[in-house]
C-alpha cells in the first residue's frame, strides 16, 4: 500500500520541520561558540545531528512507501539570543511544537487508516517524550543557576561531554 497524497504531503512538511530544527539548533550552536560556551555549543550540534537523522528517517520512509520526497525551502533561524536561559527556553518550546506536529501526523495516519505509518510514527512519539524531558531538565537547571557564572561554566563543561 502506497502513502496517500495527504500523508505524503504532510510527511514532506515534517521533513522541512525537522530540517528547520537542525538549522535552528546549528544557529544556537554558533551563538554559544560566539559567547565562549563550547559545551553548550557541543550540545546544540548534537541536537542538530539528531534532527538531521529524524529528517532522513522520514525521507527514507516516504521513498520506501512509494512516495515522492519534495523538499521545501527552510526559513532562516534566529541568529541572536538574549542569554543561555533564552536559548534553553526556546529549545524546550520548540520541542513541544515538534511534538504537536508529530501528534497531528499520527492522527492523520489514523484517519487515513494507514497502520504502517501510525506504527512508524510511534518511534517519533517516544523520541519526543525523551526530547521534551531532556530539554525541560536543561531549562530547569539553567533556571536554578540564575546568573551564577561558575555554575554555568560547570554546566557548560558537563554538556560538552554529551555524546562522547
Model confidence pLDDT, tens digit, residues 111-142? 999 999 999 999 999 999 999 999 999 999 99
Q: Which segment of 33-42, 102-111, 152-161 scores lowest on mean pLDDT?
A: 152-161
Show me where the domains of the chain are located: 5-157
pLDDT band of residue 163 (cuts 50, 70, 90) is low
Q: Mean pLDDT in the chain? A: 96
66 touches 43 (CB < 8 A): no
Predicted local confidence at residue 58, as pLDDT? 98
Residue 119 burial by Cβ neighbours in a 10 Å radius (0-12, 13-18, 19+): exposed
CATH superfamily placement of domain 5-157: Ferritin, core subunit, four-helix bundle (1.20.1260.10)
This prediction's pTM: 0.94
The Cα–Cα gap between 65 and 69 comes to: 11
C-alpha cell at 50: 539528531
Amino acid at each position: 500500500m502506497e502513502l496517500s497524497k495527504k500523508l505524503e504531503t504532510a510527511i514532506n512538511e515534517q521533513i522541512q520541520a525537522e530540517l528547520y530544527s537542525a538549522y535552528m539548533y546549528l544557529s544556537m550552536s554558533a551563538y554559544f561558540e560566539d559567547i565562549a560556551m563550547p559545551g553548550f555549543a557541543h550540545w546544540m550540534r548534537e541536537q542538530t545531528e539528531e534532527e538531521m537523522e529524524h529528517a532522513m528517517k522520514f525521507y527514507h520512509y516516504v521513498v520506501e512507501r512509494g512516495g515522492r520526497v519534495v523538499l521545501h525551502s527552510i526559513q532562516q533561524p534566529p541568529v541572536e539570543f538574549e542569554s543561555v536561559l533564552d536559548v534553553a527556553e526556546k529549545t524546550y518550546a520548540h520541542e513541544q511544537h515538534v511534538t504537536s506536529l508529530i501528534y497531528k501526523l499520527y492522527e492523520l495516519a489514523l484517519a487515513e487508516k494507514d497502520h504502517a505509518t501510525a506504527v512508524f510514527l510511534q518511534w517519533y512519539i517516544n523520541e519526543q517524550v525523551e526530547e521534551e524531558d531532556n530539554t525541560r531538565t536543561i531549562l530547569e537547571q539553567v533556571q536554578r543557576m540564575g546568573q551564577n557564572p561558575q555554575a554555568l561554566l560547570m554546566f557548560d563543561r558537563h554538556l560538552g561531554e554529551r555524546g562522547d
